[in-house]
Structure 1
Amino acid sequence: MRAPIGHFDHATPAPECLDELIRPVADAVREWRGSIPAEQIVYVDTDPQWADTATFVEHYGQELLEQSANCVVVAGRRGGETTLAACVVLSTTRADVNGAVRRLLGARKASFAPMDTATGETGMEYGGITPIGLPGDWPVLVDSAVVELPYVLVGSGRRRGKLLVPGKVFAELPNAVVLDGLGVSAGES
């Protein structure tokens, strides 16, 4: 599977277009120290109206669904404490919030964080949240299927644009935990 750059009019290595990225994402790219060079993280300019996965693949090509991932913010609660974390799963699955996420966070209850919390705590736009540039103390739970892909399309921090990222980068993010089975099909619980 090769990088689907041909689907997009404008694709630029992220370090060359930091002004196009929202501040926490630009800072993470600027400070990147992973084994894969930051130049392999590519920003592709896309229209904000196509930000949601279903409309994105409808517009840019159904085959991109297999190379796309979603990053969702979850809140785990135990007693009076709340732990925020991010989950990165393939777009063909959903995060196992009530099972794997709840257990890993040691929470009694886990749920998707409210939109205001997700955007306020990340500094990113809803519908464009990406695991690159999240608060440094957050757990970043990544489904192993994401890491195994050569390239993954994920949000850029804004509704405009996506990042095309080598799958192995997700395992190198601060506080990343790679899990088998984090992403489950819609029929599983």
Structure 2
Amino acid sequence: MSDPTTLPRLGDLEWVPALDRPDLLADPVAASLHAWAATDGRVAAQVAVAEIDPEHADTATLNAVHDLPPEASANCVVVAGRRGDVERVAACVVPATTSADVNTRVRKLLDARKASFLPTDRATSESGMAYGGITPVGLPTTWRVLVDDRFAAPGALALMGSGLRRSKLLMPGPLLCALPGVEVIEALGVVRG
């Protein structure tokens, strides 16, 4: 069992080591965390999971019910960009206090003429995760994973989906930025006006 004293804590949720509760993780998330933990010792000690009421899975509701700071919440949206017949898919992870700049920033990063949110049925079937629970951990290797650089700041936390609507993952933001395959992007999210 992991040492729970090093786990991040946030709000009034009961956080436990994510590797100890695979039942609270979508299968691709659990597999990815185990593979990542084999190469980075911080994963077992610093990635936590908490069970939640699925009715509270949406960011604003979760934050209100469990006294969570909005700046720690990470929203993961899946975007597809197209240039000619070539489609490129990316998961964009931004602070919940911002929105992914899909039409400008993400579109350019994907070298696409047009970018839009991937349809829900495709996002869930291709990721193996539930709508409202998609997380950057365990995504298809063909997808780019773009993470806002605000999560790289010392002391930043990343509260995000677990692949399921009935639980949430929590880890230090810098650890999220060290997830294999992640590209840290400056100002990926734009502040809502």
Partners of 1:104 and 1:74 lie apart in 2 by 11
Moved more, 107-116 or 148-157: 148-157
Partners of 1:13 and 1:3 lie apart in 2 by 10
Choose from 51, 57, 61 the match for 2:57.
Answer: 51
TM-score by length of 1: 0.91
| Alpha-carbon shift at residue 6 of structure 1 (Å) | 5.0
**Contact 1:122/1:135 (8 A) holds in 2:** yes
Q: Is 2:27 the partner of 1:23?
A: yes
Q: Is 2:103 the partner of 1:103?
A: no
RMSD: 1.6
**Contact 1:27/1:133 (8 A) holds in 2:** yes
Choose from 147, 163, 168 the match for 2:169.
Answer: 163
The amino acid of 1:183's aligned partner reads G
Partners of 1:186 and 1:151 lie apart in 2 by 20
% identical aligned pairs? 49
Partners of 1:16 and 1:176 lie apart in 2 by 24
| Alpha-carbon shift at residue 34 of structure 1 (Å) | 3.0
**Contact 2:70/2:97 (8 A) holds in 1:** yes
TM-score by length of 2: 0.89
Partners of 2:41 and 2:18 lie apart in 1 by 16
Which residues of structure 1 form unaligned runs of 5+?
A: none
| Alpha-carbon shift at residue 35 of structure 1 (Å) | 5.9
For this pair of structures, how many residues does the alignment match? 184
**Contact 1:3/1:150 (8 A) holds in 2:** no
Q: Is 2:17 the partner of 1:13?
A: yes
Partners of 1:47 and 1:93 lie apart in 2 by 24
Partners of 2:151 and 2:55 lie apart in 1 by 25
The amino acid of 1:54's aligned partner reads A
Match of 2:80 in 1: 75
The 5 A counterparts of 1:104-183 are 104-148=109-153, 149-183=155-189
